[in-house]
Amino acid sequence: MSIVIENLSYIYMKGSPFEKKALDKVNLNIDKGEFVGIIGHTGSGKSTLVQHLNGLLKPTSGSVTVNNLNVSNRNLKELRRQVGIVFQYPEHQLFEETVYKDIAFGLQKMGLSKDEIDNSIYRAINTVGLSEDILLKSPFELSGGQKRRVAIAGVIVMDPDILVLDEPAAGLDPRGRNEIYDYMKKHHFETGVTVILVSHSMDDIARLVNRVIVMDNGKIDMDGSIKDVFKNIDHLESLGLSAPQVSYLMRKLKKIIPQIDDEIYTLKDAKNEIIKFIRKD
Ligand SMILES: Nc1ncnc2c1ncn2[C@@H]1O[C@H](COP(=O)(O)OP(=O)(O)O)[C@@H](O)[C@H]1O
Ligand SMILES: [Mg+2]
């Protein structure tokens, strides 16, 4: 088990009139190499949860252990090397004159040679699908999607074995979104890193992850495979969520073709299922 969360509660501004319980006795284990999605409506506690994974937030009560390191410990250096978090709107953290310097920022404190730094940077930009000529540009000259990918490269370059992406595609157009997700999927496939993806898009979650965690009001409401979670459409809707769009189409088709499988959540699976019936006629 690479992540073990036991009875985790977190209260913002504890003891003040504004205190807010954001996590309420959360229990969660995540294995090395999993690709996990976290969904839940705004304010359900997703960001608060993931910020515990590198010790940015410390449990109010309960415990969080990552690769046998307790996040409540004082020394977080090793933990931060192992857990890379890409925050919501990470481009706000790009501040150097060049993309190169931005990505190199974390590496420079590690005592590496110039060649080692360069190689790591080339590998990182390649992982997010950017070409080398972007390195000498100013981050401010880039498109929204490129900026986002530079920020992701700045985290990946540290070679974390747990990668947390908190709404990495928020505000991007569909093309920018797909590019980010496709490269992350490839990175997961090629390296076997653990990836935890927080996203609003049920369609993206359904095509990317193996396991979905649903959060509601600081608690884990559901935790299971894509099918286990998304077949509960009515329940998801009661939480202010939805199922992937294509599953609504499949439910409608089932009214016309009763034999069709409507527990389908990706376009690819829908296409394969629909083709079966077209061929029969
Ligand atoms: N810095 C903060 N100070 C006070 N309350 C906060 C802070 N950050 C988040 N919250 C509150 O904690 C709850 C969970 O927030 P958050 O973890 O950001 O949810 P999500 O990421 O699912 O939208 C919300 O009610 C939110 O208003
Ligand atoms: Mg959030």
Residues with CB under 5 A from ligand 2 (ion): 46-47
For the stretch 217-264, pLDDT in tens is: 999 999 999 999 999 999 999 999 999 999 999 999 999 999 999 999
Cβ density class 125-152: b for 16+ within 10 Å, e for less:
bebbebeeebbeeebeebeebbbbbbbb
Closest Cα to residue 31, out of 145, 161, 202?
A: 161
Angle at 65 between CA 61 and CA 70, to 5 degrees: 80
pLDDT (0 to 100) of residue 231: 95
CA 184 to ligand 2 center in whole angstroms: 19
pLDDT (0 to 100) of residue 88: 86
* Sheet architecture: strand order including 20-30: 20-30, 3-12, 61-66, 69-70
Nearest-atom index, ligand 1, CA of 42: 23
Low-confidence ranges of the chain (pLDDT < 50): none
Evaluated on CA atoms 244, 245, 251, 254, the torsion sign reads: negative
Strands (DSSP E) found in the chain: 3-12, 20-30, 35-39, 61-66, 69-70, 83-86, 162-166, 194-198, 211-216, 219-224
Q: Considering every ligand atom, which ligand is closest to the CA of 41?
A: 1
**224: three-class secondary structure by DSSP:** strand
Ligand 1 mutation target, pool 8, 9, 12, 213, most atoms within 8 A of CB? 12
pLDDT (0 to 100) of residue 152: 95
Closest Cα to residue 128, out of 165, 97, 95?
A: 165
* Sheet architecture: strand order including 162-166: 83-86, 162-166, 194-198, 35-39, 211-216, 219-224
CA 219 to ligand 2 center in whole angstroms: 14
Domain 3-243 has CATH 3.40.50.1820: no
- Per DSSP bridges, beta strands 194-198 and 162-166 are parallel
**Ranges of each domain in the chain:** 3-243
This prediction's pTM: 0.95
